[in-house]
Chain A
Amino acid sequence: MLSALLRFSSDIDLESAEDIAQDTFSAALVSWKKDGLPVNPEAWLFKVSRNRALNKIKETKRFSNKMTEVGVSPEDVVVHDTPLDDQQLILLFACAHPDLAPKVQVVITLKYVVNLKVEAIARILGLTIDGIDKMLLRARQKIRDERILFHEPSAAALKSRIGSVHKILYLIFNEGYKSSWGKELIREELCEEALIMTRALCKSVIGNHESKALYALMLFNAARLKARFGYNGELLDLEEQDRTLWDRDLIQLAMANLTAARGSEISSYYCEAAIAGLHCAAERFGTTDWNTIIRIYKQLLGIQTNPFVELNYAIALYYGGYKREALGILHELEKQAFLGQYYLLHASLGRIYAAEGNKDLAGRYFRNTLELTNAPDEIAFVQRLINKME
C-alpha cells in the first residue's frame, strides 16, 4: 500500500505516506473492532473506495486528491456513517479540529487537502519552513490522539465544525486574494481551490445558508481579480479599477447564491457578501449605493462590535456624504492603542483629507502610513497617492 501511495502521488512524501497507510489500517481496526469484520474486508475497502472515486470523478474533474485515486484514506472506514460523500470535504472537516488555532487549521488544510508543499505554504503565509513543520507535527499528534472523526462521524459532529470550516475557507481565499502582481500565480489558484471547496460544501447535505453567503462573498471578490492590478503592476483600489474587466458571470452567480443565502439569521458573511455585491452592482464608483452599504455595516456592527469593522463603516459614511460623522469615528479610533497603530486607519484619513483638499493633514497621515507598513504593494500604493496629490 505504501508504494502504491507513493507511486500515485508525487506530492506525498515518505513520512506522510507511511502515516496514511498506518492510519488507514489502525482506523480500520477501530471500526472493525466496533462493528465486527465485514464479510470480505478487502472487498469492502475496495468497493467503498471505488464508489467514492467514481463520485469524485463525476463531481469535479479539476480537483486532484491523489489519495482518492488510490482508494486509500483514513476516512474510508467512516464512509458508511457519514452523510458526506465528498472525500475532500471529509478531509477538510477533519482538519477543522476546534481546538486548533485557525492559522494551524489553515496550514494543515493547505497541506493535506490542497496538497501544497511545505515550502509553498511557508512562502504564502510568510512563515518559516521550520515553523510550518512544527505546526504540522503538533496538529497531527492532536488529530491522532483524539480521533474524533473516527468515533463520531455523525451529522451532528460535522455540523459542530462547520463554523471552523467556513473560517478556514475564508482565510484560504483571503490569502489567495492578497497577491503580488505576476509573482505568485499560486495565489489565484488558492482562490480557485477555496471556491471549489466552498461550492462542494454548498452542494452537500452539511452546507447551510452561511455556506452560500460565504460562497457569494468569494465570488464577488473573485469577479474583480483581473482588475486589481494596473498596467505597471500597481495595486488599484475600487475607485480606480476598470469595471469592464469585472467578470459579469461570476457576479451573477454570486447574486444567485446571496439570494439563496437569506435565512432567519443574518451571518457576518452575509453582510460582507451583501456589501461586496453592492459594489459589484455599481456601474461606477460614483454610483455606488452607499446608503445601503452603511445600513449593512450598522447591522454587522450589531453582530460583532469591532473596531476594524467600525473603520470600514466610517469610510462608507464618508463616501455616503456623512463626512463629519465619518471623521469623528476615525479620529476616535486613532486614540485607541491598537487601531491607532493600524496602517489602514492612517491611509484612510490620508485619502479623506487629500479628497478634501487638505494637503498638510493628508501628507501627515500618508507619512504615518508609510511608517506603519512594510508591505511593498501598500507602500507603492501610498506613494502613488502622495504623488497624485502634489
Chain B
Amino acid sequence: MQKFMLIIKEDLAELQQVSDGERQRRVRIMTAWVESLQESVNFLGGNPLQVTGRTVLKDRVISDGPFVEAKEGISGYILVDAENIEQAAAIAQGCPFVQEGGMAIEVRPIFTIVQTERITNNAP
C-alpha cells in the first residue's frame, strides 16, 4: 500500500458564489464518498480549502492570487492509502463530482524513502 494525495480541482469562481446551504450539501456528498473510501482503502485525512488566500513570491505577496481565476483551482485535498497509482486514480474517478463533470482530481503519490531492511541483533 502507498499513500496518495488527491488534489481536488474545481472552478473556484463558481465555488465562491455558491450559497452556504449548497456548500454544505456538496460537503455532505463528499463526506458520504469519503466514508466509502474509508471502508475500502483507508481515508487518512483531508480538508476542503477556503477560496481565499495568498500567493507568496520572492518580492511580493499577492492577495487573491491567480488561483481564483483558474478554471481548475485547488479546492481541497484528500489523503488515502491505495495499492498503486492506477488504483488510486480509479478510486478518484469514482468521486460523484468527478462523474458529474465539474471536478478534476490530480492524483499524486506521496514521496517516501524506501526503507531497506533493518538488521536487528535480537529477534522479536
Contacts and interface: CB of A to CB of B under 8 A. Distances in A.
B90 A101 contact: yes
Given A99-B86, A305-B45, A341-B31, A174 B39 contact: yes
Nearest to B124: A264
B87 A98 contact: yes
Nearest to B1: A163
Range for the number of chain B residues in contact with chain A: 20 to 34
Nearest to A336: B47
A342 interface: yes
A304 B91 contact: no
A99 B38 CA distance: 18
Given A171-B40, A308-B38, A338-B27, A102 B91 contact: yes
A2 B46 CA distance: 50
B81 interface: yes
A104 interface: yes
Contacts of B31: 338-339, 341-342
Contact of A104 (B28, B76, B81, B90): B90
A341 B28 contact: yes
Contact of B40 (A99, A167, A336, A338): A167
A181 to B, nearest CB: 22
Contacts of B52: none
A4 B48 CA distance: 56
B105 interface: no
Among B1, B27, B35, B83, chain A packs the most CB atoms within 10 A around the CB of: B83
A304 B81 contact: yes
Interface string B11-38: 0000000000000100110110011101
A337 interface: yes
Interface string A295-307: 0000000001111
A348 B86 CA distance: 36
A258 B43 CA distance: 26
A372 B28 contact: yes
Interface in B67-107: 76, 81, 83-84, 86-87, 90-91, 93-94
Interface residues of A, number: 25
A255 to B, nearest CB: 23
Contacts of B1: 163
A264 B81 CA distance: 22
B51 interface: no
B2 to A, nearest CB: 11
Contacts of A339: 31
Residue from B31, B43, B84, B94 with most neighbouring chain A CB atoms (10 Å): B31
A306 B86 CA distance: 22
B90 A342 contact: no
B41 interface: yes
Contact of B87 (A101, A171, A338, A342): A101
A164 interface: yes
B76 to A, nearest CB: 8
Interface of B: 1, 24, 27-28, 30-31, 34-36, 38-48, 76, 81, 83-84, 86-87, 90-91, 93-94, 124
Interface of A: 98-104, 163-164, 167, 171, 174, 264, 304-308, 336-339, 341-342, 372
Given A104-B90, A174-B39, A338-B34, 19 more contacts: A98-B83, A98-B86, A99-B84, A99-B90, A100-B90, A164-B83, A171-B39, A305-B44, A305-B45, A307-B45, A308-B35, A337-B27, A337-B47, A337-B48, A337-B76, A338-B31, A339-B31, A341-B28, A341-B31
30 contacts: A98-B83, A98-B86, A99-B86, A101-B40, A101-B94, A102-B40, A102-B41, A102-B87, A103-B36, A103-B40, A103-B94, A164-B83, A171-B39, A304-B44, A305-B44, A306-B44, A307-B43, A307-B45, A336-B47, A337-B47, A337-B76, A338-B27, A338-B31, A338-B46, A338-B47, A339-B31, A341-B24, A341-B31, A342-B31, A372-B28
